[in-house]
């Protein structure tokens, strides 16, 4: 009875928040309505929908031993406390994506983005993470690619493998592009991010030599040094070093490529692992800080609910109309295919009890969605003239405060050149005009929310604090991604050339690392030098690629549901799959075939080629060299876009054949491991229920305390 | 009140030690004591753990 009352209250609060958002037109409203609408929706979805999927659709069975219990080896297979694994999984899935996408999508207003983030995560993103994790867990933690090869077929498997690798390269390049845009011409940013390298090296040596294993100590020292690095950036800027550290985008690309290569061949303990500790603690700290400050500061939304750009598709941040482009600009936070790589493989090998995938898979993704909503709020509470001046490419704003003010006034904002100059002075940056990529705009939003919440100004500190934390975990993702890409490459080529697949063969490591870094480095360079603006051009490619990967993952899940004879529940992954295919294929079609040169890559290339043949130079290109560049980049982007879409269609077509077969046969055999009885008793959710407490006490009385763990360890 | 605070502090400490993997060493020592083995040095133990991480790259998403 009490629970019914609680859930009724949650439902009513959620409904009221959504109602306020729906009715509010032309008046400013508090951002907290957005926050609580999201939180109440998550609570209800977790309580009811995830429960339905876990127990009715997937039939998680706690009497079955998980791979962690059966194959425990203390390394990759390791029974891990559900709360700890939740933290690990969340740290692995959430990065810069849920922060950046929503900031860019804010050009269409706060409502489309919020609705997609909340509805998308509940019915698509969290469902994907949960089901992939469950199916991988039932197969001893096999990877997404392996499962596709075994369950759909070799051709589908190869298509998926190529897609995963190519998509990873694009993702790394776009992430690196965001860092470059945030650090270019910013000596403060370059100084504090640069210092993270010696700090991480110091922590690495500390953990290896000085005090082995004392991770908390080392991380505490590291975080303190990191804060010092941020503060000291303010002094550096005014000193003689400021000039030296003002780096152009091209130099930053070179620095990142060299760094990425060195980091991926160095032993992990020296750089990657300590940097990861730093970035994880910073990440969780900032997210908690942001949630608290939003509630203290209660900022007011400056953005409109739905802007004209949503209706007309003429937005300067990225081109294209609301459908399909809001849905691909916001990938992480609503539906991210990349999560399928982490939900298969790493995490499922550590789950203690089957039912815990609900908390870790579905719950972890809801948490990421919450981060996305917070980022969207941060972008919508800043002055919207400033927002567009920051996020529109230099070709549109002209690059100076005067031209940018004219530009945003043309969009209908009354932001003056003095306002724009004051905004950059407040955060002690040379300029904020056309600082695209989302990270700087988010940092301005966070600085505003934090200084509003805690008082005392300090906008410049908070701005660089936010830039530092975004750059820190983007760099961690780039390090880790390069290494994962290197392993994939070595593994794949190892099938035909055995020696190359040997991970301890140094030349193989170096060649594979160089190839991976070279690939994302070239895409990064293309993006950075693109006259039309790299973010504007590449971000759609990134979003579509990520969601095509989601389509592949959801296809696998749907195939497995049908193969397991659960046709009547196939809609659970089938509906998000169809939706995702419609969105990504429409977007791909428009990016490839649209006659609008701002949207269609080939039309864009064609317009510039015609102009070139006529001997003209089209703005924003400034000379024939830049004309060539636009033509080359747009053609390349168009080709990549088509290849990704075709690969996904190959997987989907193969899957359709298998599904048809399985429907006729009323299910097909799968590679699921046979059930083995479990000896571990543990709660399913975050907090144990009264019944679970009784069961644990009973179990401990019968077999002695902590039996699950020590028994597994004896093997 | 103090008891609740102590418990909360213990909880946070437990979580952080588990989360960072520091607790693995305590588990190992406890395991050795229980079975009467002499544990290896912490240096050797952590070294083996980090070397295993070399072949098992962490994935970090966007």
- Segment A119-157, tens digit of pLDDT: 999 999 999 999 999 999 999 999 999 999 999 999 989
Q: Does B62 map to a domain?
A: no
What CA dihedral angle connects A540, A546, A552 and A555, to 10 degrees? -90
**Cβ–Cβ contact B25 with A under 8 A:** yes
Give the three-class secondary structure for A307. Answer: coil
**Closest CB to B54 among A268, A276, A346:** A268
Contact A199, A273 (CB under 8 A): no
Instruction: Give how far B23 is from chain A: nearest CA, Å.
Output: 9
pLDDT of residue A28: 82
Contact A368, A93 (CB under 8 A): yes
- Segment A645-683, tens digit of pLDDT: 999 999 999 999 999 999 999 999 999 999 999 999 999
**Closest CB to B19 among A87, A331, A477:** A87
Domain count for chain B: 1
Range A353-359 average pLDDT: 97
Q: Does B60 map to a domain?
A: no
pLDDT of residue A457: 79
CB B47 to CB A212 under 8 A?
Answer: yes
Chain A residues touching B40 at Cβ < 8 A: none
CB A481 to CB B60 under 8 A?
Answer: yes
Average pLDDT value over all residues in chain A: 93
Q: Which of A469, A435, A86 is nearest to B18 (CA)?
A: A86
Q: DSSP readout, A440-472?
A: HHHHHHHHHHHHHHH-S--HHHHHHHHHHHHHH
CB A483 to CB B57 under 8 A?
Answer: yes
CB A95 to CB B61 under 8 A?
Answer: yes
Range A363-367 average pLDDT: 97
**pLDDT above 70: percentage of residues in chain A:** 98
CB A215 to CB B20 under 8 A?
Answer: yes
- Segment A491-514, tens digit of pLDDT: 889 989 999 988 888 999 999 999
Q: Does B16 map to a domain?
A: no
Residue of chain B whose alpha carbon sits nearest to that of A86: B19
Instruction: Give how far B36 is from chain A: nearest CA, Å.
Output: 13
Residue span of the structural domain in which B41 resides: 21-53
**Domains recognised in chain A with CATH numbers:** 2-186+246-665 (1.20.1740.10), 683-715 (no CATH)
Give the 3-state secondary structure percentages of chain A, helix then strand then coil, rounded to 5.
75, 0, 25
CB B61 to CB A267 under 8 A?
Answer: no
**Cβ–Cβ contact B36 with A under 8 A:** no
CA geometry: angle at A433 spanning A430 and A437, to 5°? Answer: 105
pLDDT of residue A399: 92
Give the three-class secondary structure for A64. Answer: strand
pLDDT of residue A715: 33
Rounded-to-integer distance, Cα A691 and Cα A679, Å: 18
| For residue A705, pLDDT beyond 70 | no
Range A408-431 average pLDDT: 95
| For residue A1, pLDDT beyond 50 | yes
Chain A residues touching B27 at Cβ < 8 A: 709, 713
Rounded-to-integer distance, Cα A385 and Cα A310, Å: 17
ipTM over 0.85: yes
Q: Does B28 map to a domain?
A: yes
CB A171 to CB B20 under 8 A?
Answer: no
Q: Does B33 map to a domain?
A: yes
**pLDDT above 70: percentage of residues in chain B:** 100
Mutate to test the interface with B, among A84, A145, A343, A715 (most CBs of B within 10 A): A84
Q: Does B10 map to a domain?
A: no
Q: Does B13 map to a domain?
A: no
Largest Cα separation within chain A, whole Å, is: 87
- Segment A9-64, tens digit of pLDDT: 999 999 999 999 988 876 789 999 999 999 999 999 999 999 999 999 999 999 99
Confidence of residue A469 (pLDDT cuts 50, 70, 90): confident
| For residue A709, pLDDT beyond 70 | no
CB A83 to CB B22 under 8 A?
Answer: no
Range A535-564 average pLDDT: 94
CB B47 to CB A96 under 8 A?
Answer: no
CB B20 to CB A216 under 8 A?
Answer: yes
pLDDT of residue A713: 38
Q: Which of A350, A343, A353 is nearest to A133 (CA)?
A: A343
Chain B residues touching A346 at Cβ < 8 A: 58-59
Q: Does B44 map to a domain?
A: yes
Rounded-to-integer distance, Cα A531 and Cα A632, Å: 11
């Amino acid at each position: 009875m009490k629970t019914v009352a609680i859930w009724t209250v949650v439902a009513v609060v959620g409904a009221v928040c959504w109602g306020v958002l729906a009715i509010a037109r032309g008046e400013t409203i508090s951002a907290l309505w957005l926050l609580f609408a999201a939180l109440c929706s998550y609570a209800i979805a977790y309580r009811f929908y995830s429960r339905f999927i876990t127990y009715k659709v997937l039939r998680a069975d706690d009497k079955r031993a998980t791979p962690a219990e059966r194959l425990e080896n203390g390394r990759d297979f390791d029974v891990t406390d559900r709360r700890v694994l939740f933290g690990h999984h969340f740290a692995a899935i959430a990065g810069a994506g849920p922060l950046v996408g929503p900031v860019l999508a804010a050009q269409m207003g706060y409502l489309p983005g919020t609705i997609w983030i909340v509805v998308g995560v509940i019915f698509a993103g969290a469902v994907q993470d949960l089901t992939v994790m469950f199916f991988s867990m039932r197969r001893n933690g096999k990877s997404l690619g392996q499962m596709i090869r075994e369950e759909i077929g070799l051709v589908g498997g190869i298509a998926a493998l190529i897609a995963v690798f190519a998509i990873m390269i694009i993702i790394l390049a776009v992430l690196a592009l965001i860092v470059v845009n945030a650090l270019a011409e910013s000596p403060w940013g370059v100084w504090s991010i640069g210092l993270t390298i010696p700090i991480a090296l110091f922590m690495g040596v500390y953990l290896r030599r000085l005090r082995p294993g004392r991770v908390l100590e080392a991380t505490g020292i590291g975080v303190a040094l990191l804060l010092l690095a941020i503060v000291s950036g303010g002094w550096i800027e005014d000193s003689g070093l400021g000039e030296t550290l003002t780096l152009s985008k091209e130099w930053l690309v070179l620095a990142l490529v060299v760094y990425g290569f060195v980091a991926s061949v160095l032993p992990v303990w020296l750089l990657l692992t300590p940097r990861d500790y730093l970035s994880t603690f910073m990440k969780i700290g900032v997210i908690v800080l942001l949630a608290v400050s939003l509630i203290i500061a209660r900022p007011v939304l400056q953005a409109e609910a739905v802007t004209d750009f949503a209706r007309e598709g003429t937005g300067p941040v990225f081109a294209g109309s609301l459908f399909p482009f809001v849905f691909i600009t916001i990938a992480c936070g609503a539906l991210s295919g990349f999560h399928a790589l982490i939900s298969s493989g790493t995490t499922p090998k550590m789950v203690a009890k089957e039912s815990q995938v609900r908390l870790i898979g579905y719950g972890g993704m809801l948490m990421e969605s919450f981060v996305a909503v917070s980022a969207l709020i941060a972008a919508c509470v800043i002055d919207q003239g400033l927002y567009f001046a920051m996020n529109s490419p230099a070709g549109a704003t002209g690059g100076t405060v005067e031209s940018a003010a004219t530009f945003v006034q043309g969009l209908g904002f009354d932001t003056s050149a003095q306002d724009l100059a004051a905004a950059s002075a407040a955060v002690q940056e040379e300029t904020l005009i056309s600082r695209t990529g989302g990270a700087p705009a988010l940092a301005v939003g966070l600085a505003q929310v934090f200084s509003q919440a805690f008082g005392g100004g300090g906008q410049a500190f908070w701005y660089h604090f936010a830039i530092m934390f975004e750059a820190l975990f983007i760099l961690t993702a780039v390090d880790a991604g390069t290494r994962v890409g290197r392993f994939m490459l070595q593994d794949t080529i190892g099938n035909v050339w055995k020696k190359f697949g040997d991970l301890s063969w140094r030349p193989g490591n170096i060649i594979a690392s160089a190839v991976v870094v070279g690939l994302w480095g070239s895409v990064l360079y293309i993006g950075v030098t693109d006259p039309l603006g790299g973010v504007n051009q590449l971000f759609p490619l990134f979003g579509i690629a990520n969601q095509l990967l989601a389509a592949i993952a959801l296809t696998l899940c749907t195939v497995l549901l049908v193969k397991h004879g659960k046709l009547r529940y196939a809609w659970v992954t089938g509906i998000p799959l169809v939706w995702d295919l419609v969105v990504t294929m429409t977007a791909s079609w428009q990016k490839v075939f649209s006659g609008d040169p701002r949207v269609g890559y080939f039309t864009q290339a064609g317009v510039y080629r015609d102009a070139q043949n006529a001997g003209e130079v089209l703005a924003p290109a400034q000379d024939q060299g830049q004309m060539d560049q636009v033509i080359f980049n747009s053609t390349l982007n168009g080709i990549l876009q088509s290849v990704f879409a075709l690969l996904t269609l190959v997987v989907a077509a193969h899957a359709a054949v298998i599904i048809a077969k399985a429907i006729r046969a009323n299910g097909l055999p799968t590679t699921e491991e046979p059930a083995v009885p479990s000896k571990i008793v543990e709660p399913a959710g975050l907090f144990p229920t009264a019944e679970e407490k009784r069961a644990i006490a009973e179990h401990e009385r019968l077999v002695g305390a902590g039996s699950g763990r020590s028994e597994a360890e004896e093997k | 009140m103090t008891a609740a605070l102590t418990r909360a502090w213990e909880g946070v400490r437990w979580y952080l030690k588990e989360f960072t993997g520091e607790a693995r060493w305590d588990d190992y020592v406890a395991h050795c004591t229980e079975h009467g083995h002499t544990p290896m040095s912490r240096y050797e133990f952590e070294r083996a753990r980090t070397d295993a991480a070399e072949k098992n790259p962490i994935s970090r998403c966007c």
